[in-house]
Structure 1
Amino acid sequence: MRFPWLLMLALALGTVACAPTHLSIHVNSPQGTNQGRPLHMVVRAVDSQRYMTEFYADVAERVVHPDDSVVQTLVIYPGEKTQTRVKIPEESPLAISFLFTTPDGAWQVLLDSPIPGRVDIELEESRIRTDAPSKRKKPKGEPKKEEPPKFEPPKVEPPKVEGPKVEAPSAGK
């Protein structure tokens, strides 16, 4: 072979440009999650149309009767952090569903292409936390974000109203 270094360079560039083949899922489940009861997590390869039209009962059935879409099921215990790793399907988004006893809000999330190598999910009592605070630190020199001034409604004294004057009838009439 004339240029073995070219082959090695091509292989090195090919591995850098490739998308991840596995997804690490990190789930934080506080003590009060699901009223303190374990719950199932179901990872499925589904297209966005199926994801949008499936009902909770359809997904729950996949725990007992998995179909070809199920990549993994796992029991999540409240008060514990859970980590798992799944193979990313080549041509399908991944849905990660949490089967709460009484879901109240977001109970599943869809990861579309390109799927990242890691996802962190924070659970609340009966839902997936969707408003996770940003942990970004402000760089030095960046001005503080000022709050808009607070306006209070003007204080208005109620008008003083006197009742009508009524004269007492005279006794001599």
Structure 2
Amino acid sequence: MSARLNRLTTLSALLLGACAPSTINLNVKSPPGTNLGRPMYMLVREVDPKQYANEAYSEVAEKVGAPDNTVLQTAVIYPGTIQRFQVKTPKEGGALAVSFLFTAPDGNWQLLLSPPTPTAVDVELAVSRILSDSVPPAIPSEQQQPAAPEEGKKGGGLEMPKLPEKMPELPKFGGSK
């Protein structure tokens, strides 16, 4: 009986370990004006979420030239490209930081990926910050799924957000005229 229990325990551990993704597909969209048209570094590393919140840009930038054991991947991001990376996740399942080392960061320059680790992340960059990032949502359980709209009610009582009447004009940056 104990041999059978040992086999079941080992099998359970293997199956549970297989549930966590071993890699993350990271897609980075960098328009031509990103980082004022200059290449820059991206750094992916394992972090403690509490320390991540207090890290200075200079501390993170130092890890490009002298990576420590938390650094999982570095890459050069070229403006005007879409680059795809496969990043190995840490075995312990810790949080990951994806940092973009802009020449003159103005806003969000890094993002935190907390466990459970997603299988894919799409990041769009702007001139000197992360414009947006998207992580595919986890499949909700039956309890978390929204209720179906009641008969006779449009949208189940939910209202669509209002868009501004006039969208703000975006700044224009150098390029061909």
TM-score interval w.r.t. the shorter chain?
0.5 to 0.7
* Residues 28 and 122, structure 2, Cα contact 8 Å, conserved in 1: yes
Per the alignment, do residues 90 and 35 of structure 1 end up closer, same or farther by CA in structure 2, a change over 3 Å counting? same
For residue 131 of structure 1, report the CA deviation from its aligned partner.
7.8
The one-letter amino acid paired with 1:82 is Q
Match of 1:124 among 123, 126, 130: 126
Describe the SS at the equivalent of 1:35.
Answer: helix
For residue 126 of structure 1, report the CA deviation from its aligned partner.
0.3
Match of 1:96 among 85, 95, 98: 98
Give the number of aligned pairs.
132
Q: What's the counterpart of residue 106 of structure 1?
A: 108
Structure-2 separation of matches of 1:146 and 1:94: 32
Q: What's the counterpart of residue 86 of structure 1?
A: 87
Describe the SS at the equivalent of 1:129.
Answer: strand
Structure-2 separation of matches of 1:147 and 1:51: 35
TM-score in terms of structure 1 length: 0.68
For residue 61 of structure 1, report the CA deviation from its aligned partner.
0.3
Higher share in helix: 2
* Residues 24 and 118, structure 1, Cα contact 8 Å, conserved in 2: yes
For residue 53 of structure 1, report the CA deviation from its aligned partner.
1.4
Per the alignment, do residues 87 and 144 of structure 1 end up closer, same or farther by CA in structure 2, a change over 3 Å counting? same
For residue 146 of structure 1, report the CA deviation from its aligned partner.
7.9
Deviation readout 1:119-157 (Å, 9 max, x if unpaired): 00000000001387xxxxxxxx85984859x9xxxxxxx
Deviation readout 1:26-73 (Å, 9 max, x if unpaired): 000000000000010000001101211110000000000101110000
TM-score in terms of structure 2 length: 0.66
Q: Does residue 1:57 correspond to 2:58, yes or no?
A: yes
Report the aligned-residue RMSD: 2.8
Describe the SS at the equivalent of 1:90.
Answer: coil
* Residues 34 and 125, structure 2, Cα contact 8 Å, conserved in 1: yes
Structure 2 residue runs without a partner (length 5+)? 1-7, 135-153, 166-177
Structure-2 separation of matches of 1:26 and 1:146: 29
Structure-2 separation of matches of 1:129 and 1:25: 15
Q: Structure 1: which 4+ aligned runs deviate by more than 2 Å? A: 13-17, 141-148
Q: Does residue 1:46 correspond to 2:47, yes or no?
A: yes
Q: Does residue 1:20 correspond to 2:21, yes or no?
A: yes
Per the alignment, do residues 18 and 76 of structure 1 end up closer, same or farther by CA in structure 2, a change over 3 Å counting? same
Per the alignment, do residues 147 and 44 of structure 1 end up closer, same or farther by CA in structure 2, a change over 3 Å counting? closer
The one-letter amino acid paired with 1:119 is V
